[in-house]
């Protein structure tokens, strides 16, 4: 199956998906057919802040039509924040949409967690991934911690790199959620958090939304 990705939001997330798909397909000895189109991070964040789903869906539709013309047979958005209008996009898309939120909820159901923390943009944290995770209690940072994570995340996503100061924010807030709120794992509710955390050397359990999503895309394309 020819995969279509709406990338660019942000660049590091796009790179993560690209590398993950290349590695997965290579391990399966299957040829990867992939086309990536670029969406603009500041535009998405502006539409998210104003909750302008119609404008963002129109952007996704234009990009999806381009992917379909290139031969893509499915489409996925490489951004957790970008899923704020996922239901409207799925209803309009000319291609089947691989929905990150649905895949993450399904993956969490298979693990024995009861309470998980979440990092990401302000909207993702406040809505607990847009209310799409129903199988566990999702705990967001509060007060200044939430704002600090949001600001650090947005700056990181736009630049495609993480600074040590930004990394310190994410790690400190994660540890605080574990210590004070009793969460059992941290959900990486922003795809660019792959710049900060990985499951190999992080001292607490992670729910890697980007990894779960990329693996779901690969599974669909190879079955």
For residue 223, the model assigns a pLDDT of: 87
Classify the C-alpha dihedral 28-111-148-129 as positive or negative.
positive
For residue 186, the model assigns a pLDDT of: 98
Residue 206 forms beta bridges with which residues? 186
For residue 151, the model assigns a pLDDT of: 97
DSSP for 58-122?
A: HHHHHHHHHHHHTT-SEEEES-SGGGGGHHHHHHH-SS-B--HHHHHHHHHHTS--SEEEEESSH
Q: What is the CA radius of gyration of the chain?
A: 17
For residue 156, the model assigns a pLDDT of: 95
Q: How far apart are CA 210 and CA 149, in angstroms?
A: 18
Query: Which residues have a Cβ under 8 Å from the Cβ of 45 and sit 6 or more positions away?
Result: 81, 121, 154
Q: By the 8 A CB rule, do 196 and 172 touch?
A: no
Taking alpha carbons only, the member of 157, 211, 207 closest to residue 177 is 207
Query: Which residues have a Cβ under 8 Å from the Cβ of 155 and sit 6 or more positions away?
Result: 166
pLDDT < 70 regions, the chain: none
Domains of the chain: 2-99+212-222 (3.40.50.1860), 102-208 (3.40.50.1860)
Taking residue 96's Cβ as centre, other Cβ atoms within 10 Å add up to 15
For residue 201, the model assigns a pLDDT of: 86
């Amino acid at each position: 199956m020819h995969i279509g990705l709406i990338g660019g939001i942000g660049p590091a997330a796009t790179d993560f998906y690209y590398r993950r798909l290349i590695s997965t397909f290579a391990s399966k000895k299957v040829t990867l057919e992939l086309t990536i189109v670029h969406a603009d991070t500041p535009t998405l964040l502006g539409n998210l802040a104003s909750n302008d789903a119609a404008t963002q869906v129109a952007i996704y539709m234009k990009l999806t039509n381009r992917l379909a013309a290139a031969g893509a047979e499915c489409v996925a958005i490489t951004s957790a924040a970008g899923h704020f209008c996922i239901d409207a996009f799925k209803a309009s898309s000319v291609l089947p949409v691989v929905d990150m939120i649905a895949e993450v909820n399904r993956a969490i159901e298979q693990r024995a967690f009861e309470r998980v923390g979440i990092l990401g943009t302000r909207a993702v944290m406040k809505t607990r991934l847009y209310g799409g995770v129903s199988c566990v209690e999702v705990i967001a940072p509060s007060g200044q911690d939430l704002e600090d994570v949001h600001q650090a995340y947005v700056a990181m996503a736009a630049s495609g790199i993480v600074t040590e100061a930004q990394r310190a924010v994410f790690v400190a807030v994660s540890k605080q959620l574990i210590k004070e709120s009793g969460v059992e794992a941290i959900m990486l509710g922003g795809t660019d958090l792959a710049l900060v955390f990985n499951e190999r050397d992080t001292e607490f359990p992670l729910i890697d939304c980007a990894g779960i999503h990329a693996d779901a895309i690969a599974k669909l394309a190879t079955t």
